[in-house]
Copies of this chain bind each other. A is one copy, B any other.
Amino acid sequence: LVCNANTTQAVTDICVASARVAAGAGTEIVGVTAPFGPAIIATRAENAIAGHAVLATLAEHAAGTDAAVLAVSYDTALEAARQLMPFPVVGMTEAACLTACLVGGRFGLVTFSSAELYRERIAQYGLAARLAGIRVVSATPMDMASDPHRVDALVAEAAAALAVDGADAVLLGGAALAGADKRVDTAVPLIDGIAAGVRMAEMLVRLGLPRARSGSYAAPQGRETEGLSPALARLLLGG
């Protein structure tokens, strides 16, 4: 399950396409789009609202799902989803960070949007010491469609600067940059979060770890709610 926390179907389509390229034989990719919330998450407020949307969307499509990848830059509601869902959930930025840890020392990140939200998220993962830097390129997702060459050049320049700052790998932040790793030649590897997320999710499915029965990641039991979707309310009630 590739879960787009935005309500924009076009983003889902891009992510699903990326995911299909990355996925192993035998992995079926299903894309789902948040039914309510921000069109595109770019600010703190939108990210908080989308947390609810992510959980509602995952709950709706939980049946038959083996694992989910959150296709959203800031890994919205990742820990909550991990607690609530009966299957592994992986964030695209989290997966890219952990992959970067597996190939080098420190890593950098290139993005169109807010560096601060990325910085905070990476610090929450306890990985601040492995972050060599974040570069914001002066472009928008629209430029990506209209003038991909310019965007690619900006990404290449940012990646080169991050390598000088000590990055052994560079994360592509956000779905908008998906595919740049295939087009841009850089001295250090570029890591696409969707590809890394799909591969990490497959890895967890194969590892088959049991779910925690205690602690803050144990499935909720008997939690009562009001006004939530039936699927979401049911998961919180447990059984």
Q: Tell me the A residues contacting B by CB distance below 8 Å.
A: 7, 22, 24, 35-40, 42-49, 51-55, 77, 79-84, 88, 90, 94, 98-99, 101-106, 114-117, 119-120, 123-130, 163, 166-169, 187-189, 191, 195-196, 199-200, 202-204, 206-207, 209-218, 220, 223-228, 232, 235-236
Report the Cα distance A232→B94, complex, angstroms.
29
Q: Is the CB of A195 within 8 A of B207?
A: yes
Q: Which of B127, B130, B191, B228 meets A37, CB within 8 Å?
A: B228
A48-B45 CB under 8 A given contacts A39-B226, A213-B187: no
CB-contact partner of A83 in B43, B83, B127, B214, under 8 A: B43
> A38-B236, A166-B119, A225-B37 are contacts. A44–B203 as well, Cβ < 8 Å?
no
CA distance A191 to B99 in the complex (A): 18
Whether the pair A217, B105 counts as a contact (CB closer than 8 A) is yes
Contact of A43 among B52, B53, B223 (CB under 8 A): B223
A-B contact pairs, 19 of them (CB 8 A): A36-B226, A37-B52, A38-B223, A39-B226, A40-B223, A43-B220, A44-B83, A49-B232, A88-B103, A103-B204, A114-B216, A124-B124, A163-B214, A167-B215, A187-B215, A188-B213, A199-B206, A200-B203, A202-B203
State in angstroms the CA–CA spacing of A46 and B75 once bound together: 17
Q: CB-nearest residue of chain B relative to A196?
A: B207
Distance between Cα atoms of A130 and B42 in the complex (Å): 21
In the bound complex, what is the Cα–Cα distance between A126 and B123 (angstroms)?
10
Q: Are B163 and A187 in contact (CB under 8 A)?
A: no
- Please indicate the chain B residues that have their CB under 8 angstroms from the CB of A166 in the complex: 115-116, 119, 215
Which residue of B42, B215, B227 contacts A163 across the interface (Cβ within 8 Å)? B215
**Cα distance, A223 to B41, chains bound together (Å):** 9
Chain B residues within an 8 Å CB radius of A54:
48
**A215 & B116 in contact (Cβ 8 Å cutoff):** yes
- Structural contact, A46 and B207, CB atoms closer than 8 A: no
Q: Are A102 and B98 in contact (CB under 8 A)?
A: yes
**A48-B52, A227-B36, A236-B38 known; A216+B101 contact, CB < 8 A:** no
